């Protein structure tokens, strides 16, 4: 179902529940994987996804439609993830100025829900050496195949800066692979 | 030609050169197109600063990205079986919980439940242990009355002490100090003005008058001796 139709249904109190169920069906996996690639741990991602959709439920009637619905959803999800990761850093006594995500490395190896190849594991390890925002941009471009304009609307960074960030991310990942061959 | 060079034979009065068929037909179009191309080439000369310096680096990085995508298309993460089916149900349960709370009219602050546990803990098992205060068997007013009596007695004694006259007033103390001692003290510790002022106020210094207690004969003898 098109987003416009979901929003129309949501605007009508009689069909609000149905609209939300449709929205969940349409976006839950996309949002989950976006969150999971950021926070790594499945249980953390599970909690966050539920929180995110509750927030969506509470705020959808205020959605101004000046952006695409999925851009708005991604933005909520991204902000919730960043807040969560900052709290996790504090709990683990990691400085907020520490740009990389090395503190998540344990989650990568401890999580029971990683069934990737060696190459996939190496890519995730390489990603954890990147600054958080760079990792975020890489995930959205590489795995979600979003356009730079869409990523710009989600994170609030210019297209030029995003291109530069992605380019650097790919270079660092390539160097990581060469160094860890 | 014949007018200019009348000596040339008429057989030579022909143009020996030829052109391709239709040459002149589209010459104008071709010339105009060539002019437009040269104009465009001049206008398209602008590229961002350092573009060509970075271009090869960008192409190489793009190639590496393509190679990466050929081998890795997924992140490798998995989820428990049936997770997404349950996820929807869990979110709906929370959503209905929020709805019910809203319908009853009661609400809580947004972060209420997040901080509730800590609030309770800080007021219960995290409180430092305190020694219980034992109550006296007697009624309270007896204690208060006794304390009031003691305070009154202390107050009376204290006031008497403060208001009792000093048998040796300050003026008597000062009278026992000679003028010379006062003068000497001021010379040492006072300012110049103090010394000058006091010396005016003091009675005549108790110095013997010059010549007092010396006889006239003694004075005459002294003068005869020295002169």
pTM of the model: 0.57
Q: In the prediction, which pLDDT does A135 show?
A: 94
Q: In the prediction, which pLDDT does A81 show?
A: 95
Q: In the prediction, which pLDDT does A139 show?
A: 95
Contact B91, A54 (CB under 8 A): yes
How does residue A153 score in pLDDT terms, banded at 50, 70 and 90? very high
**Tokens matching residue A53:** 């959709």
CATH number of the domain that residue A124 is part of: 1.10.1740.10
- Residues with Cβ within 8 Å of B87's Cβ and at least 6 positions away in sequence, in order, are A28, A32, A46, A49, A50
Dihedral angle computed from the Cα positions of residues B53, B54, B57 and B60, in that order, rounded to the nearest 10 degrees? -110
Q: In the prediction, which pLDDT does A36 show?
A: 92
**How many C-beta neighbours within 10 Å does residue A131 have?**
16
Find the DSSP H helices in B9-139.
27-43, 51-71, 83-104, 112-123
Interface pTM, i.e. ipTM: 0.81
Tell me the average pLDDT across A131-138.
94
Q: In the prediction, which pLDDT does B47 show?
A: 75
Q: In the prediction, which pLDDT does B103 show?
A: 47
**Chain B residues with CB within 8 Å of chain A CB:** 58, 61, 64-65, 68-69, 71-72, 74-80, 83-84, 87-88, 90-92, 94-95, 98
Contact A10, A16 (CB under 8 A): yes
β-bridge mates for residue B77, sequence order: A114
β-bridge mates for residue A131, sequence order: A100
Min Cα–Cα distance to chain A from B125, Å: 22
Instruction: Give the range of the structural domain holding residue B185, as residue numbers without chain letter.
Output: 174-227
Q: Which of A124, A106, A121, A135 is nearest to A41 (CA)?
A: A106
Contact A67, A152 (CB under 8 A): no
C-alpha to C-alpha distance for B176 and B173, rounded to whole angstroms: 6
Domains in chain A: how many in total?
1
Min Cα–Cα distance to chain B from A52, Å: 10
- Residues of chain B with pLDDT below 70 are 1-8, 38-46, 98-110, 112-114, 116-118, 120-132, 134-139, 164-175, 183, 187, 189-213, 225-227
C-alpha to C-alpha distance for A24 and B88, rounded to whole angstroms: 7
Q: Which of A6-20, A50-64, A149-163, B5-19 has the lowest mean pLDDT?
A: B5-19
C-alpha to C-alpha distance for A75 and A154, rounded to whole angstroms: 5
Residue range A78-113, pLDDT digits in tens: 999 999 999 988 887 777 766 777 778 877 777 678
Contact A167, A173 (CB under 8 A): no
Give yes or no for residue A10 having a pLDDT over 60.
Answer: yes
Dihedral angle computed from the Cα positions of residues A165, A170, A174 and A180, in that order, rounded to the nearest 10 degrees? 70
C-alpha to C-alpha distance for A171 and A114, rounded to whole angstroms: 25
DSSP annotation string for B118-175: HHHHHHTTTSPP-PPPPPPSS-HHHHHHHHHHHHHHHHHHHHHHHHSPPSS-HHHHHH
Residue range B71-124, pLDDT digits in tens: 899 899 999 999 998 898 888 888 877 666 654 455 566 676 667 666 766 666
C-alpha to C-alpha distance for B181 and A123, rounded to whole angstroms: 100
- Residues with Cβ within 8 Å of A167's Cβ and at least 6 positions away in sequence, in order, are B58, B61
Instruction: Give the range of the structural domain holding residue A111, as residue numbers without chain letter.
Output: 3-179
Does A83 touch chain B if contact means CB atoms closer than 8 Å? no
Tell me the average pLDDT across A48-67.
87
| Domain-embedded: residue B179 | yes
Domains in chain B: how many in total?
2
Q: Which of A174, A31, A164, A114 is nearest to B74 (CA)?
A: A114
Tell me the average pLDDT across A35-59.
91
Of A29, A53, A120, Cβ closest to residue B75: A120
- Residues with Cβ within 8 Å of A38's Cβ and at least 6 positions away in sequence, in order, are A78, A81, A85, A135, A136, A139
Tell me the average pLDDT across A7-28.
90
Half-sphere exposure of A163 (CA within 13 A, CB side): 7
| DSSP summary character for residue A131 | B
β-bridge mates for residue A114, sequence order: B77
β-bridge mates for residue A100, sequence order: A131
Q: In the prediction, which pLDDT does A173 show?
A: 94
Q: What are phi and psi of A78, to 5 degrees?
A: -65, -45
Cβ neighbours of B91 in A, within 8 Å: 24, 28, 49-50, 53-54
Min Cα–Cα distance to chain A from B103, Å: 14
Q: In the prediction, which pLDDT does B194 show?
A: 64
Q: Which residue in the block uniquely carries the two structure tokens 């007018």? A: B3
């Amino acid at each position: 179902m098109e987003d416009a139709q979901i929003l129309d249904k949501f605007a009508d109190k009689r069909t609000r529940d149905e609209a939300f169920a449709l929205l969940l069906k349409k976006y839950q996996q996309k949002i989950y994987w976006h969150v999971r690639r950021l926070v790594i741990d499945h249980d953390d991602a599970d909690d966050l996804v539920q929180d995110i959709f509750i927030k969506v439920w509470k705020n959808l009637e205020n959605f101004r439609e000046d952006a695409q619905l999925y851009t708005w959803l991604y933005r909520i999800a991204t902000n919730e993830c960043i807040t969560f990761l900052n709290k996790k850093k504090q709990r683990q006594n990691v400085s907020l100025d520490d740009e990389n995500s090395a503190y998540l490395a344990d989650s990568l190896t401890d999580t029971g829900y990683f069934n990737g190849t060696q190459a996939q594991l190496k890519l995730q390890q390489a990603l954890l050496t990147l600054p958080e925002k760079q990792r975020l941009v890489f995930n959205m471009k590489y795995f979600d195949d979003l356009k730079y304009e869409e990523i710009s609307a989600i994170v609030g960074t210019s297209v030029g800066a995003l291109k530069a960030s992605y380019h650097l991310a790919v270079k660092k990942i390539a160097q990581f692979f060469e160094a860890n061959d | 030609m014949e007018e200019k060079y009348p000596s040339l034979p008429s057989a030579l009065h022909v143009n020996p050169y030829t052109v391709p068929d239709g040459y002149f037909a589209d010459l104008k179009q071709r010339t105009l197109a060539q002019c437009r191309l040269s104009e465009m080439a001049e206008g398209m000369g602008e590229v961002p600063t350092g573009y060509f310096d970075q271009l090869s680096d960008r192409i190489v990085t793009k190639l590496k990205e393509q190679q990466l995508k050929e081998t890795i298309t997924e992140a490798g993460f998995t989820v428990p079986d049936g997770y997404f089916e349950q996820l929807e149900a869990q979110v709906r349960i929370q959503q209905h919980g929020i709805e019910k709370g809203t319908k009853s009219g009661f609400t809580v602050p947004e972060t209420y439940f997040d901080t509730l546990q800590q609030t309770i803990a800080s007021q219960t098992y995290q409180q430092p242990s305190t020694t219980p205060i034992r109550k006296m068997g007697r009624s309270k007013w007896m204690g208060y009355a006794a304390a009031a009596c003691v305070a009154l007695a202390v107050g009376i004694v204290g006031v008497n002490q403060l208001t009792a006259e000093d048998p040796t007033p300050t003026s008597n103390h000062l009278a026992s100090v000679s003028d010379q001692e006062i003068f000497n003290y001021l010379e040492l510790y006072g300012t110049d003005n103090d010394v000058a002022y006091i010396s005016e106020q003091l009675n005549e210094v108790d110095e013997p008058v010059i010549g007092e207690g010396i006889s006239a004969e003694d004075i005459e003898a002294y003068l005869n001796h020295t002169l």
